[in-house]
Amino acid sequence: MKARIPGGMNGGQANMMKKIQEMQAQLEQKQAEVENSEFTASAGGGAVEVTVSGAHEVKDIKLQPDVVDPEDIEMLSDLIIAATNEAMRKADDAMEQAMNAAKGGLNLPF
């Protein structure tokens, strides 16, 4: 026979707490998976390619030789910024999708 502790959790509350803990573990796992993933985007028709991690760290920048024009450094800068921002958006989208999947459709604040 189980002892009942006054003010303790009943079976339903304990089960809910267990489910919340499992969901939190899933969220943490999904977050780690996305943070360890890499996302690549390009700009200028592939002239500039930027790879970032899910943790928003730039991992690689590839430039096609014909895009490096000493007379037009501003265009190169714009292409790098555009590719970096798109890669970051991909990482953010992947994180959001992973979190939604881990929450199982529940509308939770985290």
Residue at 9 is within a domain: no
Q: For residue 87, give the nearest of 52, 37, 63 by alpha carbon.
A: 52
Rounded to two decimals, the pTM is 0.72
Mean pLDDT, the chain, rounded, equals 87
Q: What mean pLDDT comes out for the span 81-97?
A: 95
Residue at 93 is within a domain: yes
Q: What is the domain-level CATH number for residue 56?
A: 3.30.1310.10
Name the domain count of the chain.
Answer: 1
Q: Roughly what angle, to the nearest 10 degrees, separates helices 11-35 and 73-103?
A: 160
Residue at 53 is within a domain: yes
Residue at 21 is within a domain: no
Residue at 84 is within a domain: yes
pLDDT at position 38: 96
Farthest-apart Cα atoms in the chain, separation: 84
Cα–Cα distances (Å) from 100 to 31, 58, 64, 106, in that order, read: 11, 25, 37, 8
For residue 38, what are its two tokens?
């890499």
Residue at 60 is within a domain: yes
User: Which residue range is the domain that position 44 belongs to?
Assistant: 30-103
pLDDT at position 101: 84
| pLDDT of 61 over the 90 cut | yes
